[in-house]
Every structure is written in C-alpha cells, then in structure tokens.
A and B are shown apart, each in its own frame.
Chain A
C-alpha cells in the first residue's frame, strides 16, 4: 500500500512539467526564441564543419612549422603523429567535435596551451577596441548620413558621398600606416603603435578586462589616460572605414523615410524640422539600418584583424593573424567559432530590438 502515493507522485510530476511546457509553448515570444535557438544550433554546426575542413586544406603543414626549419623527416613525422595529423581527416574532425562538445577548442600548436584560454585572454582587448570604434562609427556616420539625406543633391551631400566612397575603397592597412606615420612619427600626438599601454606600465587589476574601465575602477587616472592614448588612433582608423558603408545605409534609409506620407503630414502641421528629422524620420530610418547591422559587424571584424595587426594590439584579431601565419589551425578554428557565436547572438538581439522599435511587428 505504500506504493500508491509513490506512483501518484511520479504520475503527477511529468504532467506538471507538461502543463508548464504547454504554457511556455503558448507564449509567442518563447516559441520564437525556441525556433531561433534551433536555427542557431544548426548554423553553428555548419560553421564548425566548414571552419574545420576549410582550415584543413590551407597550404602548409603544421607539423613542419612546429618542428622548425632544421628538422628532418623523422622528426616531422613524429610531430604529425603527436598532433594527430596522420589520421584521416574525418577521424580528426570527429575527435575535434568530441573535444569541442566538452568546451575544448584543442591545443594551440604554437604555445601548447589550450586555444580557448589564449582566446579568452585576448577578448577584452578586442572588445574595448571594437566598442570604441563602433561608438566613433556612429558618431561619424549618423550625422553625416542624416546631413547627406536632408541636403540631398547639394554640395554637402556630394562631399559626404565622396567621403563614403573614399572610406569604402581605401585599403585599411594603408590608412593605418598613414595614420601612424602622421600622428606618431611626424606630429608625435599618438604613442608608438605597440599594444594597449606604454611599455613598462602595469596593467590595471582585471575586472572587465577593458583597461580604460579597469584603471578607472582602480582610481588610476594615469593608466586610464595612457590606455585612451593608445586606443584612439586604431579605433579612429577602424571607425573611418566602417563609417563608409554605415553612412551610405543611413543616408538611403533617411531618404526613403523623408519621402513618406507621414513626414509630409508632420510638415503640414508645422512641426519644426529638427523634430521631423530627429524624431519622426530618424526613428523610422533606424529600422532598416538596424537590419543591416550584421553587415557592419562583418566590416568591424575584418577591419579589426588588420588594425590589431598594424597596431600590435593584443586582441583576437592579432591572435588569429599570428595563428594563420603559424598554421596554428585550432586557434584559427576557435576564432571562427567565436565570431560565429557573436554574430548569431548579435542577430538575435537585433531581431528583438527590431520588434521593440516597430509596433507593427511587436503586436503581430
């Protein structure tokens, strides 16, 4: 008779779970998130596969790189066995996926450290540079895009479009070198392009990993100024190039919006131009701009690799450059995976923001 309450309990708990599940499933936001999550997993699986096989066919043999220029055949073969490169590619891939599932990106062949640890250590530097560069990008492209649209066809529009064309066609590494030449070598306004702090300066105690913020948290104004000093030129270089497509997108979105009927209404009732442009038009124009932010992120990542390289900025961009150079495939794959995850999360956030900004989507 003691079994009766037991079976009752086991009967009840799954049905409780089921009803909880049913409530969740009836929530459209939850269903949406669930579907997006499923798609994200699929995308990740694809990225992992493509990243693995694409990097595997890169020219060069990692074992040769590790063995060094004076190594003989025998030694290279030993390294190949040690690194598992002698096995069939499919077996290597299966091994890689099994380790990945345990959060292990594999060994960084250059340093023999876990690749995920090295990547993690370099993320804050890239985030700091990226945030400042993106902030500068907005500060440049928002006013320029709006101005170009409002003064469409005038000399202002013409100059801004010239700037955008220049930004889109200039080679980033060249711009970075010119920046260094002028601001460091000629005018001595910027520090030498060697990492995030002046050599010999102690890193602030790590809280966020962002030197500017950590140094402020530690009350160390001097280090904060030094960090900013090192930050502005690479960030500005990156921002100039990313601003080009961004300005164009904002301009065309603004042009389209300014042509809408509701803008005409706003003008017909005498609302001041500032309100019309900054409240009515900009908010509407922001929606198409937001959808294309994924493209902007792409520009930021690609630009970041070059800028970090030129400025010896110890972020993930510089890391992947060195890894590629050294045939350090696990590190490269880790980088690709990292970017893919950020990209997927970013797109999800954008879609959620999108529905916050546009009531027509929110209520559907």
Chain B
C-alpha cells in the first residue's frame, strides 16, 4: 500500500472561519493524511472536531465564511485549493462526490427522486433523457429500493430516511466518482437500517473499487468497514493508523479515551468487575 501513490493527500491544511463580528478562529490546523486507491479510510472524532469541515474542504464546498489559509489538497497531481470555480465543476461529481447526513433534507423536496437521479446520470454519462431515466431506475434497483419504478415517482418527503439515503447512494453511483466521501451517512437512521446502509456501501465499494472516506463518530462502524483510520480532535489529526493497530495499540491519549468510552458501553460488567 505504501508503494502506490495516494489518491488524495491533505498536506498541512489549515482553515479558519470568520464569525459575524469579523473575528476569525481556526477550525482546521495542519491537517495531513493520505487516502490510497481502493481503500476505505475512516475519519473519526467527536462532533465539532472538524471532520465535516475536512470533507467540505476536499469537496470545495466550505461555507462562505470558512477560508483555507495554508496547505494543499493533492488529488490526481493537482492541488484542489488552486482550482478555479469552473474547474471545480469538472471535478465534483465525476472525480469526487459526497453523501451527507440527514438524507431526506439532502434531496430536492420539489422534484421526484427518479428525476433527481436521472439528471445526475445525464450529466455524467451523456445519455438521452429517456435512457438516463431507465438507467436511474436500474441504479435505484441496485441500491436495494424495491419496486423502483413506483418509488422513482415519489417525492423525498414520501420516503423513509433509509430509502432517501439509498437514493443518494444511487446518485453517487451515477457519478462513478474516484473518491466518495460519506459524512455520517447513517446518523438518525434506525439501527437495522444503519447496518443495511453500511452493507450497501461496502458492497458498492467492493464492486466498483471506489475509494471511500467514511466520516463517523462510531468506532464500531470503523472497525467493521474501514482499513485505515484517522483520529481527529479540535481541528487536528491526532493519529493515523490501520484499524488493527488502532484497536490493538491506540497511541494517542485521545484515541485511548475514545476506546475506553467504546469498551465501557460494550462490556460494562467486565471492565468494572
């Protein structure tokens, strides 16, 4: 793995955010890590640690008030931070794509979900309208939406959160990105649905060889899905390790702390007895 070139490399990335009063404070400080082709990388940390900001920075979708101050985001030999607006639109979707938490809000409420998938198909696969819609139906079926013909005609508010997330995943499949970022894709979903969505993500990852950056606060999910993991706290990367290493010998005190909270929930009687 170390011999191959990383697909994406963050190098010393720092981002600050300016509040209403014009005061700026750092939200990312010297973030560095690499993602290699075909791997599933986890990014863990508590809320507010800068996980989502890191993802948005990679996607070039940082909020208006947040500005990268220094560092590089290398992708495919280009520094994403130097891309023009126009260049960004060639990269997003086809090279990088992202799914978000709260999937129902992430879909356009005024458009039937089949149309939403179909227009992404059309954008990236240069198909005619009819063919794109057929393809969208295929994709919906692939992500495990039963009776996709009917469901395609539904509006987002008529779908459950799990179904909406499947629709979003179908959209990502239409993009066929080289790197997919999933930001807490199962937050707010039922536990059984969560498991199904992760199963789906794993299958797709294996089938299409998509590189995946999975953002979560759930170490259990990390151990199941990821190969390597970066631990984040207060806008800094504390530790990067393979999942095996991390669980066997957490290096950083913060990681150990995270582990402890996890173990305590898992086996309350053992560790206490």
Contacts and interface: CB of A to CB of B under 8 A. Distances in A.
Given A360-B155, A363-B155, 14 more contacts: A153-B64, A260-B105, A261-B106, A262-B107, A265-B107, A268-B93, A268-B98, A269-B92, A269-B93, A270-B89, A271-B120, A284-B110, A358-B110, A359-B109
Interface of B: 59, 61, 64, 85, 89-94, 97-100, 102, 105-111, 119-120, 123-124, 155, 157-158, 168, 171-172, 174-175
Nearest to A284: B110
A267 B61 contact: yes
22 contacts: A153-B64, A260-B105, A261-B105, A262-B108, A265-B106, A265-B168, A267-B61, A268-B98, A268-B99, A269-B120, A269-B171, A269-B172, A269-B175, A270-B94, A270-B124, A271-B123, A272-B89, A280-B111, A358-B109, A360-B157, A363-B155, A363-B158
A135 interface: no
B161 to A, nearest CB: 13
Nearest to A273: B89
The 3 residue pairs across chains A and B that have the minimum distance between CB atoms: A270-B93, A270-B92, A261-B105
Given A269-B171, A359-B110, A360-B155, A261 B102 contact: yes
A357 interface: yes
A264 interface: yes
For chain A, the bracket of interface size reads 20 to 34
A267 B120 CA distance: 11
A284 B100 CA distance: 20
Contacts of B106: 261-262, 264-265
Nearest to A272: B89
B64 A152 contact: yes
Contacts of A262: 105-109
A89 to B, nearest CB: 52
A358 B111 CA distance: 9
Nearest to A360: B157
Nearest to A275: B119
A122 interface: no
Contacts of A346: none
B53 to A, nearest CB: 13
A284 B156 CA distance: 14
Contacts of B111: 280
A271 to B, nearest CB: 6
Contacts of B59: 268
A283 B100 contact: no
Interface hub of A262, A273, A357 (most chain B Cβ within 10 A)? A262
A166 to B, nearest CB: 26
A264 B123 contact: no
B123 A270 contact: yes
Interface hub of B91, B102, B157 (most chain A Cβ within 10 A)? B157
A189 interface: no
A357 B64 contact: no
A283 B110 CA distance: 8
A265 B100 contact: yes
A283 B106 CA distance: 16
Nearest to A265: B106
A266 interface: yes
A148 B77 CA distance: 36
Contacts of B89: 270, 272-273
B87 to A, nearest CB: 12
A357 B110 contact: yes
Contacts of B168: 265
Nearest to B181: A268
Nearest to B172: A269
Contacts of B158: 363
Given A267-B92, A269-B171, A270-B89, A284 B109 contact: yes
B118 to A, nearest CB: 12
Given A262-B108, A359-B157, A363-B158, A270 B175 contact: yes
Nearest to A286: B110
Contacts of A264: 61, 100, 106
B108 A266 contact: yes
Contact of A268 (B90, B97, B124, B157): B97
A358 B109 CA distance: 8
Interface hub of B98, B108, B119 (most chain A Cβ within 10 A)? B108
Interface in A224-267: 260-262, 264-267
Interface in A328-364: 357-360, 363
